[in-house]
């Protein structure tokens, strides 16, 4: 069974990668033509101002390609079955992408970076988290697995709060990480590797196949997003990826390891929280600029150097997550 699943996963990944490489140039040209371009913040880094007008909403491609290929394959291949867990992950991926699309559309039309209000965005994210909790709760437990001690603890209805926090925090963390060329997509590909292993070892082969297909689609996107980026994923892509990995962690019962594996995302959102809180209290900044990747850029490090170091950190945390799982 495992060999069949890996064959399906690799075949699906190849199809997704080829499709991404074929359609991305056309998508970039189309977004250029309809003027769906990035609008950089006035208070942002000077080196980023030249990115104004670069096509955004590239996340549309790496959402639609693996989702449509997977759904089509589900009619023919048992390793791509549409069970409850896979439906939750697919719905999370698409629905959080729709929130991001709405935000991007408002930004592009108004030509500023306001988009959806933070309250509206958070409310939509939280409502979706509640929906996914209710769907998941109908066919699964409220237990979470604790690494190292290898025990399950039943949180009862407190699990509801964990799910809402996990989805809202992860989507915003991934969104904040998408600030320089190639950073977010590369970190997400790295973070998805341990979850592929978890899904395989738990015999959740449909989830494993979808993870591999999404990672392959991101790889195709990354070719056009590396510095200097020809396209950005926008909130469409970053919110979708946050929802995807949060839903994956939930159905694989790896909520705790999500924090470890995705700690670079966590560090990015924590840097913003710390910066804002400290500035409001003291009027002084801890970081040169937040999120964290901008702190290093502001210190004179090039975009590619920041990305390389953050990817390396992502690999180390992914290995730490795997180590904790096997221990």
User: Residue 306 has what pLDDT?
Assistant: 96
Structure tokens at 226: 């590396």
Give this prediction's pTM. Answer: 0.95
What is the sign, positive or negative, of the torsion defined by CA atoms of 266, 268, 271, 276? negative
Can you tell me the distance from the alpha carbon of 143 to that of 162, in angstroms, rounded to the nearest whole number?
11
The predicted pLDDT at position 245 comes to 98
Q: pLDDT band at residue 149, thresholds of 50, 70 and 90? A: confident
Do 147 and 198 contact (CB within 8 A), yes or no?
no
pLDDT at 43 over 60: no
Average predicted confidence (pLDDT) for the chain:
92
Spell out the SS3 assignment of 100-128: HHHHHHHHHHHCCCCCCCHHHHHHHHHHH
pLDDT at position 185 over 90: yes
Q: CA 154, CA 232: separation in Å to the nearest integer?
A: 41
**Longest pairwise C-alpha distance within the chain:** 61
What is the share, in percent, of the chain residues with pLDDT greater than 70?
A: 94
Predicted pLDDT at 131:
93
Quote the CA–CA distance of 21 and 72 in Å, as a whole number: 20
Residue 128 has pLDDT above 70, yes or no: yes
3-class secondary structure per residue, the chain: CHHHHHHHHHHHHHHHHHHHHHHHHHHHHHHHHCCCECCCCCCCCHHHHHHCCCECCCHHHHHHHHHHHHHHHHCCCHHHCCCHHHHHHHHHHHHHHHHHHHHHHHHHHHCCCCCCCHHHHHHHHHHHHHHHHHHHHCCCCCEEEECCCCEEEECCCHHHHHHHHHHHHHHHHHHHHCCCCCHHHHHHHHHHHHHHHHHHHCCCHHHHHHHHHHHHHHHHHHHHHCCCCCCCCHHHHHHHHHHHHHHHHHHCCCHHHHHHHCHHHHHHHHHHHHHHHHHHHHCCCCCCCCCHHHHHHHCCCCHHHHHHHHHHHHHHHHHHHHHHHHC
Spatial distance between the Cα atoms of 28 and 6, rounded to a whole number of angstroms: 32
Whether 254 and 202 have beta carbons less than 8 Å apart is answered as no
User: Which range has the worst mean pLDDT, 70-74, 158-162, 311-315, 318-322?
Assistant: 158-162
Residue 46 has pLDDT above 80, yes or no: no
Spell out the residues 6+ positions from residue 137 whose beta carbon is closer than 8 angstroms to its own.
Answer: 159, 160
pLDDT grade for 139, boundaries at 50, 70 and 90: confident
Q: Which two tokens stand for residue 105?
A: 């559309």
Report which of residues 232 and 138 the model is more confident about: 232
- For residues 194 and 321, is the Cβ–Cβ distance under 8 A? yes
First-to-last C-alpha distance (Å) of the chain = 26
Token reading at 61: 């491609």
Mean pLDDT of 122-150: 89
Instruction: Read off the pLDDT of each residue in 236-260 and give the average, rounded to a whole number.
Output: 97
Mean pLDDT within 276-294: 92
Task: Name the pLDDT band for 35 (thresholds 50, 70, 90).
Answer: confident
């Amino acid at each position: 069974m495992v060999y069949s699943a890996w064959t399906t996963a690799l075949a699906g990944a190849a199809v997704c990668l080829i499709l991404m490489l074929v359609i991305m140039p056309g998508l970039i040209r189309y977004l250029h033509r309809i003027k769906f371009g990035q609008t950089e913040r006035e208070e942002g880094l000077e080196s980023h101002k030249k990115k104004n007008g670069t096509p955004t909403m590239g996340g549309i491609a790496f959402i639609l390609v693996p989702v449509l290929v997977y759904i089509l394959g589900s009619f023919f291949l048992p390793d791509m079955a549409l069970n409850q867990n896979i439906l939750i992950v697919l719905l999370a991926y698409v629905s959080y992408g729709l929130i991001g699309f709405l935000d991007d559309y408002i930004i592009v039309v108004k030509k500023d970076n306001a988009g959806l209000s933070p309250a509206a965005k958070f409310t939509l994210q939280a409502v979706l988290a509640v929906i996914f909790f209710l769907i998941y709760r109908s066919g699964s437990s409220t237990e979470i697995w604790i690494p190292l001690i290898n025990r399950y603890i039943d949180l009862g209805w407190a699990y509801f709060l964990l799910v809402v926090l996990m989805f809202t925090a992860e989507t915003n963390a991934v969104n904040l990480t998408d600030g320089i060329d190639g950073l977010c997509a590369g970190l997400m590909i790295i973070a998805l590797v341990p979850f592929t292993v978890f899904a395989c070892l738990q015999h959740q082969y449909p989830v494993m196949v979808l993870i591999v297909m999404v990672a392959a689609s991101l790889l195709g996107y990354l070719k056009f997003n590396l510095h200097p980026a020809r396209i950005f994923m926008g909130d469409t892509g970053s919110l979708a990826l946050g929802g995807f990995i949060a839903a994956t962690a939930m159905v694989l019962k790896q909520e705790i390891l999500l924090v470890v594996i995705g700690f670079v995302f966590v560090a990015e959102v924590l840097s913003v929280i710390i910066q804002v809180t400290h500035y409001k209290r003291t009027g002084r900044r801890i970081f040169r600029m937040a999120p964290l990747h901008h702190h290093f850029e502001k210190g004179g490090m090039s975009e590619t150097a920041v990305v390389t170091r953050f990817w390396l950190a992502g690999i180390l945390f992914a290995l730490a997550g795997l180590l904790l799982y096997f221990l």
